Amino acid sequence: MPDPKPQFNAHTPAGLTHREVEAARAKHGWNELPATKRIGPARVFFRQFKNFLVLILIVAGFIAFTLGEYTDTLAIALVIALNGILGFVQEWRAETALESLRNMLSPMARVIRGGCEQSIEARSLVPGDLIVLETGARIPADATLQQAAELRVDESALTGESAPVGKTVGTEASVVFAGTSVVLGRGLATVVAIGANTSFGEIASLTGSVGLKETNLQVQLGRLARQLGSATLAIAVAVLCLGLVMGRDTGEMVMTGLSLSVAMVPEGLPAVVTITLALGAAAMVRQNALARRLQAVETLGAASVICTDKTGTLTENKMTVTRVWTMDRTYQVTGYDPTGHIVHDGSVVRATQDAVLTQLLKTGLTCTHARLHREAEKWIMTGAPTEGALVTLAYKGWAEIPAPSPIVAEIPFSSERKRMSVLVRGDAEDVVYCKGAPEQVLTICTRVMTQDGLRDLGAEESQAITAAYEAMARDGLRVIALALKTTKDEELQEEEMTFLGLAGLIDPPRPEVKPAISAALRAGIRVIMITGDSPLTANAIASQLSLPAAKMVSGEELDLMEDGQLTRVLHDDVLFARTQPVHKMRIVSTLQAQHQIVAMTGDGVNDAPALKRADIGISMGIRGTDVAKGASDLVLLDDNFTTIVSAIGEGRRQFDNVRKFVHYLLSSNAGEVIALLINILIGGPLIFLATQILWMNLVTDGVTAVALGLEKSEPDQMAHPPRKKNAAILGIRGIITILAFGLYTGLASLWVFLHLLPVDEDLARTTAFTAMVLFEKASVFAFRSLHLPCWRIGIFSNPFLLIALVVTIAAQLAAVYWSPLQILLHTAPLHSAQWMLIGILVLPILLVPEALKTLRYVVGNRLKTNSSLLV
């Protein structure tokens, strides 16, 4: 039972009784969002088998089992199981990691019940409860203020607005919202909505209304699987019918059809894709990015647009002074923490060197409730972000630190007055310090301080101050005016004060964001800021980040736009400000309708619906809300925007590698199919047995393809624009390449088989079988890059591939000379003559592709050089 505490004050109501709480809970339930139905481990495991290629393998395995080919059945079953286990482990690990992040939080609330203030679990709140709001507290429910003292609330997680919002009783600003936090002051509020009925809950419900999405890689692999499945069925049936027409044995033709089916389907593809994506996801975790689904990073690699929130994503979500203006001078301020400097005309200035600056810094340091202290080599600020920024400014200028409690009287800030004043007791006379909105502070000033002393504040001076204030506001700065006066009346009166200057504050961009945006733009990826903040602030941040924004659109303007108008606007460089969650979803949906692959970054509740709607949602792991993390596909564990660019590169590498081993596997399978088909047409015995085809496709090709999936990023990977959304894994050029390799390897192995067939059928089949394996090992070098020669990407840059080649060639030697495998695969020992014949036929596969790619590379570079010289 929590210890009771004194009441809020003498006029505080007693709050709900225990009976009233129970009655309200029976009616309204608990203060929590409806729990999403957690996907159990069995469901996560079984959804790994929805891939069409996996379904083809299951059918092939069933046919093999029916025909009594138990070895084939076992081999196929192992591949299917491996694919399922790898996919399950990665997805379940991601879900468990997110659950651990959620369990780290145990929100509590201060509440008055039965006349006592106590701490309870936030989920226990009911409508009608009286909650106590204090600096640093997270507001647990929507509530209406009953009492408030200098209360300011950070609503950025809900609205995207970076500046704290002042809250007062009896006005439109009397409502506080769940999910926001108190940055200054104290208050008492009556709960009016809990759980799903809060503004927080409505956005969470909007997020839940967005259905599951299919990644681009899933779409492309599904299309490829359907194409391969149709081709497999058509060829197998055609061959079966052809054989029967030619009078071949029915049993033999059924086995031939099964062999063709096995040869057509790249059995290793699902496992290789899964392994490659899993290894890529593991690599991203080491770079502080957690992929909740295997395909997430690959989708980011295909992104053509990144829609990003501003507050906390592009910016620090911390206010800092960047400019100070006085009647004589303008100062630039560097850095966020006290290690920064105040600079005038290129020189660092300290308070002791400038009388006006001394008084301005002292005012900001005294007229405040914020405090700054150092803890474990890190600066910690408590209080309102705006006041904290002025305190930090004073530290940067080496101002004298005042006594711990110098304030003897105070007129607090209010939304009506828009200024705060304090009275400080001095040795000879008292001092009134004031800060607030420039137009409000000017009304109580009669003089202005300059480097030459005090002078009257006339029309000319007022115009200069107003012009400076407006110029700073146009740059997106939040402007605070500071003033003081001495008094002997020991009373705090806001009149006849001396104007000191202006301080311009902004939520500064995160330092790593600008180069990250530049890298994204160089890679052909558009970056669009969508923020709930003001247009001026958004435009200033975009300018500092060199983010193209030729047009500014507010949320109100967006509401008036038809879909066609929004489509036209999105063709240009545009910036969106004062937006709501529904606006973000609409922008993402419109971009997707233009066939763009959209990535959405964010950390707040207001970002969650768009995170889920986007092709890939990216949330912040440290400051991101649970709702945002749950809606995202990728969680940045370090909240570092630069990680996004790394993930884009990793995603492109993954898709490129998927394309490489798809080309490789299909070119290998094409050779097997061509050799089988022609051999059937000429009436010869089977060139490859079903077990030999499975050995090639699963053991030798599978291991090599996994190693191919570990190829590093190519040198020019981020110099290319993102691929089209409908870009197939296999294009026309890819099909031609596959056919070329298939024709050569198929005809060469068939020639070897027919050449040795008169000598001995087992020897001929073993030689053709071994030749095809070595042809496929040699061809892997041609697919290490689809456009660059091996010497350009580094001959030894993928040691895993070299190891895989050694292992698979050793396995093939075992298949030829080791008795158990000889029996399983029906092979016979080869002699030096057969090995020499195979070696001669392997050379063109090694040399011709490398020569062609080298020629294309050299010619392409010369054309680029000539084009640049002409420009």
Residue tagged 């792991």 (tokens): 621
> What angle, 0 to 180 degrees and rounded to 10, lies between the N-to-C axes of helices 250-264 and 52-66?
160
Is 309 tagged catalytic? yes
Hey, what are 18's tokens? 């225990």
- SS3 at position 516: helix
Catalytic residue among 309, 533, 603, 607: 309
Pinpoint the alpha helices (H) of 570-641. Answer: 581-593, 608-613, 626-631
676 and 688 in contact (C-beta within 8 Å)?
yes
Q: Give the count of beta carbons closer than 10 Å to the beta carbon of residue 858.
A: 11
Structure tokens at 702: 């599978």
578 within 8 A of 534, measured Cβ to Cβ: yes
Using alpha carbons, select from 204, 203, 311, 320 the residue that is nearest to residue 531.
Answer: 311
Provide the CB-side half-sphere exposure for 691 (13 A, CA): 15
DSSP letters of 363-382? HHHHS-S-EEEEETTEEEEE
φ/ψ of residue 150, rounded to 5: 55, 40
Q: In what order do the strands lie in the sheet with 305-308?
A: 289-291, 634-636, 616-620, 598-602, 305-308, 526-529
For the record, the structure tokens of 488 come out as 């002997």
- 499, exposed or middle or buried, with CB in 10 Å at 0-12, 13-18, 19+? buried
Q: What is the CA radius of gyration of the chain?
A: 35
Tokens coding 89: 């482990």
Written as six digits, the tokens of 740 are 């070329």
Beta carbons of 571 and 553 less than 8 angstroms apart: no
549-573: b or e for each residue (b if 16 or more CB lie within 10 Å)?
beeebbbeebeeeeeeebeebbeee
Q: Which contacts (CB < 8 Å, 24+ apart) does range 802-805 have?
A: 803/707, 804/703, 804/704, 804/706, 804/707, 805/704, 805/707, 805/777, 805/780
Q: 187 and 149 in contact (C-beta within 8 Å)? A: yes
Q: What is the three-state SS of 32-75? A: CCCCCCCCCHHHHHHHHHCCHHHHHHHHHHHHHHHCCCHHHHHH
Between strands 526-529 and 305-308, the pairing is parallel
Q: Cβ distance 321 to 505 under 8 Å?
A: yes
Which 3 state secondary structure label does DSSP give 796? coil
CB-CB contact of 472 with 325 (8 Å): yes
DSSP designation for 780: G
The separation between CA 688 and the C-alpha centre of its own chain, rounded to angstroms, equals 48
Kindly list the distances between the CA atom of residue 276 and the CA atoms of 222, 269, 653, in Å, as whole numbers in the listed order: 17, 10, 10
Closest Cα partner for 60 from 48, 77, 82?
A: 77
DSSP conformational letter for 293:
S
Cα–Cα distance measured from residue 4 to residue 353, given in angstroms and rounded to the nearest whole number = 53
Catalytic residues: 309
